Structure 1
Amino acid sequence: MPDDQFDGAPQLGAQQLPAARTGTDVPESPLFRMEIEADSAALARLAEKTAAETSRRAADDAAVYEVLAAAQFDGPAWNLFARALTEYACPIVTNWLYTGEIFTLCADRGRPVRAPRTQQDMETLRTDPDEREELVCEVVARALHLYRRCALAGTGWRPDGGASLKSYFVGAVLGEFAEVFGRWASERARRPPCEPDGMNALQDVAAHRSEEPESQAIGHDAVQRLLAEVKDETTRTALFLMLRGYTRKEIGEFLNLSAAAVAMRMSRLRKNRPQHGGQEEQLTPSTARDDREDA
C-alpha cells in the first residue's frame, strides 16, 4: 500500500477538489444581511427621532423666548424661567466643581481661570459642600443677571444659534466663573484660621456687647464639644462667633462672606447637628435675635 493511502480515507481526484473561492463570489449570509439592514433601519429611525426632538425643542425655546421678550424679561414669567435655569444649572456646575472639570471647560471656551489655585483650594471644593454651594449660587446669580442684560440688549440667545436656552445659560455660567472663583480664592486667603478646638485662634475675640444672658450661660465645655464636631474651619469660626453673640452680617464681615452665605452654613449645620445622649446639641439660644438683626 502506498504511503499516502490509509484504510477508510476517502480518495479524491483532482477533478473532485472544490475550486478556490474569490472575494467576489462568496455568497452573503442571509442572517448577516438581515442584521445589517435591521441596524441601518434602527439608526435611521433614531436619527429621525433625534431630528424631530431637536426641531421641537427649538420651537419650544423660541416660543418661551417670545413670551419672555414680551414681558421684558421681568415679572412672573421671568421668575419662573430663572428658577428653571437655576435648577438645571446648579447640579451640573456643582459636579464640575467637585471633579475640577470646570477649569478645563472654562479654558476650552476661551475664559480660563487665571487666579492662582492652591492645593487647599481644590481640596476644599472637593470636600466642602458649603464652599461649593456658595460658589455655585454666586456664579449662577451673576449668569442670570448677564443673561437678562444681554437679552434686553438684543445680544443674547437666538433661535438660530444652535444652542438650547438651557445650554446657552450654562455657557454664561462658565463665562462668569473665572471672576467669581478669583474673588473666592482671594477671600479665602484672607480668612482668619480657626484651630480644631475652635477656641485658640479666637480666644481674644470678645463677646458681643449685646450678648444675651442665656448665651453667656453656654458653658465652655459645651462650646468646645460643639466646635469639635465641626470639621470645616470657616464654618467652625462662624459658629464660634455666633455663639459669642455676633450677627450673621458681622460674622460675614469678619470672614469676608455675605450674610446669606453665613446663614446657609448655619442652616446646613442645624440640619446636621450632632446629638449627644439622644438630645440635639444646642447651636445658639439667640437665633431669633440674630435673624432680626441681619435684616
Structure 2
Amino acid sequence: MAYDDREGLRAVARWSDLTGADGGELTTADRRAADQELVEVLAVRGFEGPAYERFEAALAAYALARLPGMIRTGAVSVRIAGAGPPVRPTTTELDAMSRDAAILDDLTDMTVARALVLFRRRAMIGGEWRPGGGASLTTYFIGACKLMFRAEMSGYRAALARDSRSSPSTPEQFAGVADGTPEGDPASTVVANQQVREELDRLEEPARTMVAMTLDGHSQRKIADRLGTSERAVEGVLRRWRRKAQRRRSDGGDEHDQR
C-alpha cells in the first residue's frame, strides 16, 4: 500500500499531543511507545517529506523554548571525550546576550538548525536512537543541541577574536597603508587620513557614523548605544565595510578611481 502523507502528518500530530512537545503528559513506557510508533511511520518515507518536516518543526519548537534558559544556567554545556572541558558562556558573554537578544537568538537558532541535521543523520537514518535506549526523542534531540552548541559557541568566540584583531585603532591601520611603513611617519599619516576620508564619503548613514566613531576610539557598545541599535548590528556593518574596503585596495580602487 502506498504511503499516505496525510497519515504521516496525523501521526506527528498524535505524537506531539501525547508526548508533551505541544502539551500533555505520559508515563515513561507510554512515551517510549509513542516515540517508537512515530519513528516507524517516518521510516517508511526515509525520514523525509511533509510528515518529517512537521516532526522537525515540533522538535525545533521544543528546543527553542528551552535552550535560552539552558544557556543562561550553563545546563547546555557538556563534556566531550578528547575535546577538552565543557564550553560555558562566561559572565561577560552572558551580559552581552542580555544586552543584545540577537546574540542569544542567533546562537539558539544555529544550534537547533545544526542539531536537526545531526539528529536526522545519526539518530534517525543511522538508527542510533532506540526505544529501549532510555532517552525519549525529545531528550535525545536536546542532547544533539548540546553537542552543536559547543561548536556554535566556539565559532562565536572565534569570530569575535578575529574582529578584535582586525579592528583598526589608527587611520593608518584603518586605511591599510601601515604595511612596511614606520608607525607615525608623517607621509603615511597624510595618505591614511585621505584614504579614510574617501572611504567615509562612500558610506551612507548609519554606517558612516559607525566607522567614524570606531576611528575615534569608541567601543561597539558605545556606538550601539549612541545609535540605538545592537552591538551585533554594529559589528556586522564594520565587518562588511572592512571586507569591501580590503577588496577595493586589492583591486587598486573602485571603478571611479581607475585611470
Which string of whole-angstrom CA distances, capped at 9 and with x for unpartnered residues, describes residues 144-175 of structure 1? 11111114543321111121111110011112
1:284 maps to what in 2?
none
- 2:97 alignment partner, one of 111, 117, 125: 125
Q: 1:154 to 1:91 in 2, by over 3 A?
A: same
Q: 1:227 to 1:207 in 2, by over 3 A?
A: farther
Q: What is the 5 A alignment of 1:165-204? A: 165-191=137-163, 204=196
Q: 1:92 to 1:216 in 2, by over 3 A?
A: closer
CA shift at 1:218, angstroms?
11
Q: What is the 5 A alignment of 1:85-164? A: 85-103=59-77, 106-107=78-79, 113=85, 119-151=91-123, 153-164=125-136
How many Å separate the matches in 1 of 2:206 and 2:29?
A: 66
User: 8 Å contact 1:85–1:166 — kept in the other structure?
Assistant: yes
How many Å separate the matches in 1 of 2:149 and 2:114?
A: 9
| Aligned amino acid, residue 226 of structure 2 | A
- 1:62 alignment partner, one of 32, 36, 60: 36
After TM superposition, the structure 1 stretch with the greater mean CA deviation from structure 2, 223-232 or 129-138, is 223-232
In structure 1, the residue corresponding to 2:105 is in which secondary structure? helix
- 1:79 alignment partner, one of 46, 53, 71: 53
**TM-score of the superposed pair, with normalisation by structure 1:** 0.50
Consecutive unaligned residues in structure 2, runs of 5 or more: 1-24, 168-173, 176-192, 214-222, 245-259
> Do residues 233 (structure 1) and 231 (structure 2) align?
yes
Which string of whole-angstrom CA distances, capped at 9 and with x for unpartnered residues, describes residues 37-81 of structure 1? xxxxxxxxxxxxxx9632222221111111211111111111111
How many Å separate the matches in 2 of 1:52 and 1:237?
A: 46
Q: Report the number of matched residues.
A: 184
Q: 1:252 to 1:58 in 2, by over 3 A?
A: farther
**TM-score of the superposed pair, with normalisation by structure 2:** 0.56
How many Å separate the matches in 2 of 1:134 and 1:125?
A: 10
User: 8 Å contact 2:42–2:51 — kept in the other structure?
Assistant: yes
Root-mean-square deviation over aligned CA pairs: 4.2
Which string of whole-angstrom CA distances, capped at 9 and with x for unpartnered residues, describes residues 87-120 of structure 1? 00012111111233323xx13x767655696553
CA shift at 1:176, angstroms?
2.0
In structure 2, the residue corresponding to 1:170 is in which secondary structure? helix
Which of 1 and 2 has greater Rg? 1
How many Å separate the matches in 2 of 1:122 and 1:116?
A: 10
In structure 1, the residue corresponding to 2:65 is in which secondary structure? helix
User: 8 Å contact 1:73–1:152 — kept in the other structure?
Assistant: yes
How many Å separate the matches in 1 of 2:206 and 2:120?
A: 50
CA shift at 1:188, angstroms?
1.3
CA shift at 1:128, angstroms?
2.5
